[in-house]
Amino acid sequence: MVTGASPDEVKAVVDRAKSLGFTVQLNEGTDKKVIAVLGSNTGQTQTGVFEVLPSVESVTRIMKPYKLASREFKTKDTTVACGGVKIGGNQIIVIAGPCAVETREQMLQIAGQVKASGASIMRGGAFKPRTSPFSFQGLAKTGLELLAEAREQCGLPFATEVVDPHDVALVAETADILQIGSRNMQNYALLTSAGKGNRPIILKRGFACTITEWLTAADYLLAEGNKNVILCERGIRTFEDSVRFSLDIAAIPVLKKASHLPVIVDPSHAAGHYSLVPAISKAAVAAGADGLLIEVHPNPKEALVDGAQSLTPVAFEKLMKELRPIAESVGRTI
């Protein structure tokens, strides 16, 4: 719409789109309003239907499979607010904590330690989808309660994974950020359910998915009205077996060009070993990532999940100090 388009003129476009059987999403910027007209039969409708309406500046057909996540829909970068923290702004946000919540003592200890080292958000898995059904599956509701207690004590908001559409309301009631893991990136029932809420969502890339498939999955969340979506690159499966997954560092600038959504990186799952996490973290910051999702455990040797790729609190503190000059070199803070 042209700058200064009236509410009635915007409504006229929305009503016309709905009369043709389309759904509509509004992106209301400070200067412009952009109306996304969505539907399976958009190809049958000529752009002239909308071009003739008052205060319509231009009509652009988005040919990519993803629409709402695209730069064509929203040119300005999206920032996601959570507990006083902004993801996608000038500050690089570090989310840190254990892969899985194990005990009360573990969570209270690690929460204080990662905060002292500069983390802005805490992480911990209460529901753990595992490759083997015989592996530790998490503490479920008890884990959420322990995360909430750690938040109350240290003041950090927390992110945790949700794996079942039926658990979305339960997790969202307590968690500050919902995480959808790699194996659930294309679980469309889960995406639809999570998208109906207003909690920020970290959407991890499926380890065998293209960037286009990833952004199209993000559209499922955005289409339900949740605009607080954060993309997380965590490595993809390739022929290389010297690391757990191959971190696609190029995905960061590609996403920055193609999408307005903030991008964070999980170096822990990409590396598979704690010794590689610092180097990958530094590369991600230099490449333009908006944040890092790092596994930190008070005693990795005794961790129930992913101990090999977890940093100790001492190693995490060292890494945070090393990241600051790299962030400054690319005009960011951490």
pLDDT tens per residue, range 187-225: 999 999 999 999 999 999 999 999 999 999 999 999 999
Whether the predicted pLDDT of 133 surpasses 80: no
User: What is the end-to-end Cα distance of the chain in Å, rounded?
Assistant: 37
Whether the predicted pLDDT of 41 surpasses 70: no
Q: Which residues of the chain form CATH 3.20.20.70?
A: 80-329
Residue-wise pLDDT tens digits, 230-284: 999 999 999 999 999 999 999 999 999 999 999 999 999 999 999 999 999 999 9
Total-model pTM: 0.92
Give the separation between CA 42 and CA 112, rounded to whole angstroms.
52
Tell me which CATH homologous superfamily contains domain 80-329: Aldolase class I (3.20.20.70)
What pLDDT band is residue 63 in, cutting at 50, 70 and 90?
A: confident
3-class state of residue 284 by DSSP: helix
The pLDDT assigned to 284 comes to 98
- Average confidence (pLDDT) over 65-72: 95
DSSP of 70-137: BTTT--SPP-EEETTEEETSSBPEEEEE-SB---HHHHHHHHHHHHHHT-SEEE-BSS---SSTTS--
3-class state of residue 232 by DSSP: strand
> What contacts 115, CB < 8 A, 6 or more positions away?
122, 154, 155, 156
Give the separation between CA 319 and CA 157, rounded to whole angstroms.
21
Give the separation between CA 213 and CA 231, rounded to whole angstroms.
12
The pLDDT assigned to 117 comes to 98
Eight-state DSSP code of residue 32? -
3-class state of residue 113 by DSSP: helix
What pLDDT band is residue 39 in, cutting at 50, 70 and 90?
A: confident
Sign for the CA dihedral angle at 196, 202, 203, 207 comes to negative
Please name the residue that has the structure tokens 């600038």: 253
